[in-house]
Structure 1
Amino acid sequence: MKSVLLATALAAFASLSVPALAAAPAAAPVVAAPGPADWRTPDPNDVLVIDTNKGRILVELVPEVAPQFVSRVRELAHAHFYDGLTFFRVIDEFMAQTGDPQNNGQGGSDKPDLPAEFFFRRGADGPFVPAGDQGSSELGFIKSLPVMSQSMMLAPMTRDGMVQAWALYCPGVAGAARADNPNSANSQFFLMRAKYPRLERNYTGFARVIAGQEVVRAIKTGEPVADPQDRMERVRLLADLPPAERPTIKVIDPNGPWFKAELARVRAREGAGFSACDVNIPSEVK
């Protein structure tokens, strides 16, 4: 299996331009601390607990967006497939790649490759929480994952009454690695160290880090990493941890009043340069 990020993507990364200076945005309003109604408890079957030599990373799986790859990750975690695998390709201000038993980007599991899930269908009654209307498209969140979709105004014109949507590649978002063939995702995945919108609609986004992003940022860099020592020591679903070892996790609910106020604050601060990647989704882990 070839390494996840193609040469064209890396060339684009190297040639990103600096945006023009804009007028200073208005002062952002102060937002009070979140209250009890602002938090949600993620499904323990949707939380991947990655214990690394640098610390613990908690990743929230989002099956609503990429059901097949989420199912594959759950299956491989149950089988302890990921235990001991290194972060073999790590690019600062980009991503950290892992999930290959060969630890070089060329391998995968003995399971069949999966079809691309670059897009998903979004209905009016789905879990999408709108965060901004951009005319022909809508910005929002599904759980902790930022997403973009076509406007729901188009839904009456589609056969299934739904519109097309896709994950946004913000820091902490997890994507499925693949070769040149779009339908070649298998076991490898990567965790974003920075935002990288050029991956959107080209790689399956399936999850997001909800705690431990500082661990992702601490992983040794290299392309490939020289003598990679940083590794996933154990990878389990939260539901599979013994009760005595299972942390209690709360994540800010994008449906709650605190998030809506925080969204308004960030929009005021960023002005015309606002991005979904500017919005923080706090968590509490005990």
Structure 2
Amino acid sequence: MNKKQSPLLYVGLGVVLIVVVGLLIFLANQPKNDETSTQQTTQTSTQSSEPTGIDGKKTSQTSLDKLKLPQLNDTVGKDEAEVEIQTSAGNIKIKLFPKLAPLAVENFLTLAKEDYYKNNEFFRVIKNFMIQTGDPSNQGTGSKSVVNDNQPFATEISNQLYNIRGALSLANTGQANSSSSQFFIVQNAEDMSSQLSNFLRPSKIEDAYKKGGYPSLDGSYTVFGQVISGMDVVDKIASAEVETNSSGESSSPVKPEKITGIKVIKDWKF
């Protein structure tokens, strides 16, 4: 080998070395095998589809099925209150859940004792849905809060309470902190088990929806009570003849029933 050939030989060896090192670095940064890649994808998919309850928290069917569900019995417990809504169509007894919806129950009981609801009409009535009241103007434009510094308050969502038939819930505007005095009673008696959303619910609540209710309301409205007697009165009010209101909804009773008084049978101290 002569001296003129030596530089070319070194250059060639240098190029080969650079290529080999580059190839080793490239291979070192690749997934070890397809199984590893699939495993990572599966884990990501599982995490993103983990089930939640109506409160938005991750949960399981087993844990939900262990919850106490106070709406499913007519007994008024030690941690519950009771009222009788007296109406021109008859009386409706309701138990309230101050531990699970404290703002809603405190506001309702305080206003009831002040006769705020007296002569309020059931101004919005939709058969196979609900009956609504709680506005002295009887137009759906008025409301009152005596909690939260006299301001409308947040929706209180509990995974123990649902909009099954007979549920007492607060109306709101769809905006945050818009609950106050207006309330409705869920009246629908049709089987709604096929319309359950992607929320997980206790199995006994799913069964309850076979007897009526409105599951699409779950997670958006505060449930704070349950009718324990007088659903026949609720059905009577819901069956009233209605006419179209200014919004184009057929829900304004021609001869509206009204609240004549609310009797607090079992009070609650906050």
Q: TM-score, normalised by structure 1?
A: 0.51
User: Equivalent residue for 1:48?
Assistant: 83
Structure ranking higher in strand proportion: 1
TM-superposition CA deviations, 1:7-61 (whole Å, max 9, x none): xxxxxxxxxxxxxxxxxxxxxxxxxxxxxxx984545971111111111100100
What residue ranges of structure 1 are gaps of 5+ in the alignment?
Answer: 1-37, 121-164, 241-286
Q: Is this contact kept in 2: 1:86–1:230, CA < 8 A?
A: yes
User: Equivalent residue for 1:108?
Assistant: 143
Greater Cα shift, 185-194 or 175-184? 175-184
CA distance in 2: counterparts of 1:92 and 1:228, whole angstroms: 15
Correspondence 1:69 to 2:107: no
The alpha carbon displacement at 1:212 in A equals 0.2
Correspondence 1:238 to 2:265: yes
1:72-221 aligned within 5 A: 72-109=107-144, 111=146, 112-120=150-158, 165-194=159-188, 195-219=213-237, 220=240
User: Equivalent residue for 2:201?
Assistant: none
Aligned residue-pair number = 159
Residue aligned with 2:216, SS: helix
Q: Is this contact kept in 2: 1:86–1:228, CA < 8 A?
A: no
Residue aligned with 2:252, SS: coil
Q: Is this contact kept in 2: 1:90–1:221, CA < 8 A?
A: no
Structure ranking higher in helix proportion: 2
Distance 1:199 1:110, change over 3 A: closer
CA distance in 1: counterparts of 2:74 and 2:178, whole angstroms: 37
The alpha carbon displacement at 1:230 in A equals 0.3
Distance 1:198 1:83, change over 3 A: same
The alpha carbon displacement at 1:114 in A equals 3.5
CA distance in 1: counterparts of 2:74 and 2:174, whole angstroms: 40
Distance 1:55 1:116, change over 3 A: same
Q: Is this contact kept in 1: 2:79–2:99, CA < 8 A?
A: no
The alpha carbon displacement at 1:95 in A equals 0.4
CA distance in 1: counterparts of 2:80 and 2:161, whole angstroms: 20
Distance 1:228 1:108, change over 3 A: farther
Please identify runs of 4+ aligned residues in structure 1 that moved more than 4 A: 38-45
Q: TM-score, normalised by structure 2?
A: 0.54
Paired letter, 1:215? V
Distance 1:109 1:39, change over 3 A: closer
The alpha carbon displacement at 1:94 in A equals 0.5
Distance 1:114 1:39, change over 3 A: closer
Q: Is this contact kept in 2: 1:61–1:207, CA < 8 A?
A: yes
Q: Identity over aligned residues, as a percent?
A: 31
Q: Is this contact kept in 2: 1:83–1:235, CA < 8 A?
A: yes
Distance 1:171 1:227, change over 3 A: same
Greater Cα shift, 165-174 or 71-80? 165-174
Paired letter, 1:47? E
User: Equivalent residue for 1:58?
Assistant: 93
The alpha carbon displacement at 1:116 in A equals 2.3
Distance 1:182 1:42, change over 3 A: same
The alpha carbon displacement at 1:196 in A equals 0.5
Bigger relative contact order, structure 1 or 2 (CA pairs below 8 A, ≥6 apart): 1
Residue aligned with 2:226, SS: strand
Greater Cα shift, 49-58 or 103-112? 103-112
The alpha carbon displacement at 1:229 in A equals 2.6
Q: Which is greater in Rg?
A: 2
